[in-house]
Amino acid sequence: MPRQSIFDMKFSNVFPLLIQKAERKSRTRAEVYEVTAWLTGYTSEQIDAALGSEITYGTFFTDAPSYNPRAELIKGKICGVQVETIDDPLMKKIRQLDKLVDELAKGKTMEKILR
C-alpha cells in the first residue's frame, strides 16, 4: 500500500500529534492553537470545527483565512529540511507550522515564536 500523502490525511488525525508533541514538553493545547491561529488566521472555534470534520490537512492550509505574511520569517530545519528552501508552497506551509510547534516544544517564548 502506498504511503498516504500528508496533504490527503485528515486534519483530525494530524493536528492532535502536534498538540501531543507540545504537551510532552509541558506546553499547552492553547499555545498550539495560538501559533496555528497566528500562522493561518483560523480562530480557535474554526480549528475545533476542522477537528470535528473530514477536512484534509492540505485543505486546512489551502483554505486558511489569512495566511500570515510574516511566515516568511520562519527559518530553520524541521525533519532535516530547511523550511525556507521548500519549493512546494503547500508543503512549506505545513512545515512552517511544524517548525512553530517545534520551537514551542523547545521552550521558546511566544514572543519569539510569533515573530
pTM above 0.75, yes or no: yes
Beta bridge partners of 78: 81
CATH of domain 6-109: 1.10.8.290
CA distance 78 to 100: 10
- Domain definitions of the chain by residue range: 6-109
Contacts (Cβ under 8 Å, ≥6 apart) of 50: 11, 12, 15, 42, 60
Q: Is the pLDDT of residue 2 over 60?
A: no
Q: Is the pLDDT of residue 1 over 60?
A: no
Confidence of residue 79 (pLDDT cuts 50, 70, 90): confident
pLDDT tens across 87-108, in order? 999 999 999 999 999 999 999 9
CA distance 44 to 78: 25
pLDDT tens across 19-76, in order? 999 999 999 999 999 999 999 999 999 999 999 999 999 999 999 999 999 999 999 9
Beta bridge partners of 82: 77
* Residue in the block written with cell 496533504: 7
Closest by alpha carbon to 58, among 96, 99, 94, 4? 94
